[in-house]
Structure 1
Amino acid sequence: MESEEIHVQEETIFEIIHNMDKMTNNLIIQWNKGFNKGLGVTHVLILGHLKVNGKSRPSDMAKALGLTPPTVTHLTEKLVKMELITRSIDENDRRIIYLEITYAGEMILKEANESGQLLRKKIFEKLTDEERQQMLQIYKKLNK
């Protein structure tokens, strides 16, 4: 009987993970459809990193965001061309490059965040007050 119970628990956990992934993917798809600025979620993550951390080296950003350095280089090229970030060279060591968010980048980041908040609000409005409270307690517990 115990192995059957464990199997049911594993199926439930798999189903939770599957549905979490599905919801995350749907959120990203919906956000991409609604945020028509020619930027993806990862571009916004880079802008967010620069807003929070200030001037940063691409290699440090790659580590912090879990991306490869070539991916950061590729993504930041577009952001530089769109004048959302600037690239500068260290005065003491010309091999070191820094990236920094511009005012335009901050405004796009603000729009992106507002778009994401609105999207999540629409999703959570489908739940009852009681369900939202349950979810809040669950997320708090998982984040401990």
Structure 2
Amino acid sequence: MNISKEPNEVSELRNNIVALARALKQSARSGDESWSNLMVLGLIERSNGKITPSEIGAALEIRSSNLASLLKNLLQRKLIIRVTDENDKRKILLGITDSGLNLVRTKRQERDLWLQEAMQSLSQEEQTQLFEAGKLIKRIIDSKLEQD
């Protein structure tokens, strides 16, 4: 398929990906936890406690004033901790507590369950195609990240 000749299909694909992301985001909102909090917690968890507040802000495109408020809330609730960098005592790193880790894992499981249930309407062959499409989407993302 020549993509330049099929702009409507490209737009439809983009719209469908965005709609799925939005639905997954909404499925994570069960309870009191904001999507921003979950994004910050997930990033801290994936960094293994070796990330600074400014790195979080840059990665998630969150303004420093908004991030400060989010981090204060997460610290007060004992979902994250502040640790001094061993190599540079001036630098503060953020880590995730057991409570924060449990919250992140629970919310991920909820989103995975939501997606599994949503996929039940597809045939086995369609589910396989969707998993393969997911790999292609990942390749697109990785390719664009390498270019930037």
TM-score, with structure 2 as normaliser: 0.77
Please report how far the alpha carbon of residue 78 of structure 1 lies from its aligned counterpart in structure 2 after TM superposition.
Answer: 1.2
Q: Which residue does the alignment assign to 2:146?
A: none
Which one has a bigger Cα radius of gyration? 1
Q: Which amino acid aligns with 1:30?
A: S
Alignment of 1:47-62 (within 5 A): 47-53=41-47, 54-62=49-57
1:132 aligns with 2:132: no
Instruction: For 1:49-88, list aligned pairs within 5 A.
Output: 49-53=43-47, 54-88=49-83
1:92 aligns to 2:86 (yes or no): no
Answering whether residue 25 of structure 2 is matched by residue 28 of structure 1, we say yes
Deviations 1:82-139 (A, max 9, x none): 111123456833xx43322111111111111111111111111221111111122222
Identity across the alignment (%): 21
Q: Cα–Cα, structure 1 residues 88 and 20, in superposed 2: closer, same or farther, change >3 Å? A: same
Superposed CA deviations along residues 15-52 of structure 1, whole A, max 9, x for unmatched, are 221222122212212321x3x1x212221121122222
Query: Bigger shift: 14-23 or 118-127?
Result: 14-23
Aligned alpha-carbon RMSD (Å): 2.2
1:46 match:
40
Unaligned segments of structure 2, at least 5 residues: 140-148
Question: Could you list the runs of 4 or more consecutive aligned residues of structure 1 that deviate by over 6 angstroms after TM superposition?
Answer: none
Structure 1, gaps ≥5 residues long: none
Q: Structure 1 CA distance, aligned partners of 2:23 and 2:123?
A: 21
TM-score (normalised: structure 1): 0.79
